Structure 1
């Protein structure tokens, strides 16, 4: 069964690098890329309203204009009523010990990784949810 992945990142190079790394992991998946948190929230909201499954995984950048990753998480919390929530992994090019600690304590965040994400890390993450 194919896994569904949502990448939320405003940087086109980071989007490409993560998409490529996921594809190199040789795991059957569908990848959707958003240019920002607002677009990602819209997609998740539309899926929820249509009664469709949400993605299995979300890779979320923290540093984005308009809404950052933390704002996304606060607003995403309002999209509820689904039986299955995505596993959310934060990716950041700017490592901050405060962000790492905040991610570690956040109930919706599964992990925090520095960019770029390695193929081994991607494989480990994508194999963490059974089909």
Structure 2
């Protein structure tokens, strides 16, 4: 079965969360390529340089140095932001402000609570 997406980028500073999310993505054959960046700044550099051209991004909110929302602010200034990349905020946050801010951000397709599940991926692919 062909993966529905060519390239998926996962941005999460937590190694365990990244490991689990990557395994779910791989086992679901979600994308041909799964790229993991442990910091939003690394992700921005990869996007700026063109070394990564994702169809989908899974983005954590709470990370040191640069949050997911700060990443989105930087992302908005990139040419690649106009290419219709689907960005899913993937977070364990229960803060209603984080959820509301995700829903209000034009770059966010959906807020998904961690851990990522096969069911959530199936819903994305529908």
TM-score by length of 2: 0.89
Output the CA distance in 2 between the equivalents of 1:124 and 1:6: 18
Cross-structure match for 1:60: 59
CA RMSD of aligned residues (A): 1.9
Q: 1:63 to 1:27 in 2, by over 3 A?
A: closer
Instruction: Give the structure, 1 or 2, with the largest relative contact order (CA under 8 Å, sep 6 or more).
Output: 1
Which residue of 1 is the match for residue 107 of structure 2?
108
Comparing 74-83 and 13-22, the one that deviates more: 74-83
TM-score normalised to the size of structure 1?
0.86
SS for the counterpart of 2:83 is coil
Measure the CA separation in 2 of the matches of 1:30 and 1:38. 20
Q: What is the count of residue pairs matched by the alignment?
A: 123
The 1-side partners of 2:30 and 2:19 are apart by 17
Q: Deviations over 1:58-81 (max 9, x none)?
A: 000000000000000001111016
Give, in angstroms, the shift of residue 120 of structure 1: 1.2
Gapped runs of 5+ residues in structure 2? none
- Residues 1:81 and 1:97: Cα distance change in structure 2 (over 3 Å): closer
In the alignment, the residues of structure 2 paired with residue 85 and residue 43 of structure 1 have an alpha-carbon distance, to the nearest angstrom, of: 17
CA drift of 1:124 comes to: 2.5
Other-structure match for 2:23: 20
State how far apart, in whole Å, the 1-side matches of 2:61 and 2:99 are. 11
d(CA) in 1 for partners of 2:24 and 2:94?
20
Shift of 1:123: 2.7
- Unpaired runs of 5+ in structure 1? none
